[in-house]
Amino acid sequence: MLLLEEEKRKLVESLWSKGIKDENVLKAIYDIPREKFISNALRKFAYDDNALPIECAQTISQPFTVAFMTQTLEVKPGDKILEIGTGSGYQAAVLNRLGADVYSVERIEKLYENALSLLSELDYKVNLKLDDGTLGWEENAPYDKIIVTAGAPDVPQHLLEQLITGGKLVIPVGDQDMQRLLVVTKTDAGIEKKYYDKFKFVPLIGEEGWKS
């Protein structure tokens, strides 16, 4: 137990030194039991700052990536946030821990089922849907923030349409080997874009993503 606390503390310190200065994000990462979102065999690596494999050839993102994307979104309690790519459910738990009203879409049934049962067992309040998230989640739109946790060829138009004016969308954009993290702010005048270099995600597959 003490060992776990020490590992969490080291991870949070390392995230701080890499530029994560939002105390609420660091606290959420410290508080959430990442070891529960991965297989038993990998639990000893839970607080390493690395992406790890989950079922169905997908990944739980690197803690730095989760923290960076979350910090970029400037999450406030009560924000309505759409996540595309539920995966293990970890990013959704971080957003909910920050007080957001979270909607998350996953295209792989097994991962959707796993996340549904784990998030409810850990008492995170997250709305989950099994679908192609490149189309968003229209019934609950618009969203204050949107986060896409798989690499896309471009920003899906459906997601831009489901974002409020003044809202932010963060998405990795590039080819299937490497992406840049794009932060889009939707304004009355159009959209503003800011890029951050070198991230690697599994592909966003769907109607407005990669075809396979």
Sites of contact with ligand SAM (CB under 6 A): 58-61, 84-85, 87-88, 90-91, 105-108, 111, 132-134, 149-150, 201-202, 204-206, 209
* CB closer to ligand SAM, 20 vs 166: 20
Q: Which amino acid is at 104?
A: S
User: Residue 95 belongs to what H/E stretch?
Assistant: helix 90-97
Q: Is 117 a catalytic residue?
A: no
Q: Please give the structure tokens belonging to residue 190.
A: 């159009």
State how far the Cα of 190 lies from the Cα of 130, in Å rounded to an integer. 31
Instruction: Report in angstroms how near the CB of residue 86 gets to ligand SAM at its nearest.
Output: 6
Question: Minimum distance from CB of 170 to ligand SAM (Å)?
Answer: 12
Shortest Å distance, C-beta 87 to ligand SAM: 3
Which of 108, 163 has the CB closer to ligand SAM? 108
184 vs 202 by CB, closer to ligand SAM: 202
Say how many CA atoms lie within 13 Å of 64 toward its Cβ.
17
- Closer to ligand SAM by CB, 109 or 192: give it: 109
Integer Cα distance of 209 and 212 in angstroms: 9
Give CA–CA dist 24/21, Å, rounded: 9
Among 148, 169, 157, 162, smallest CA distance to 207 is for 157
CB of 187 to ligand SAM, least distance (A): 26
Q: List the catalytic residue out of 14, 17, 39, 61.
A: 61
CA angle 33, 37, 40 (to 5 degrees): 100
Judge whether 94 and 73 are in contact, CB under 8 Å: no
Distance separating alpha carbons of residues 150 and 170, to the nearest angstrom: 11
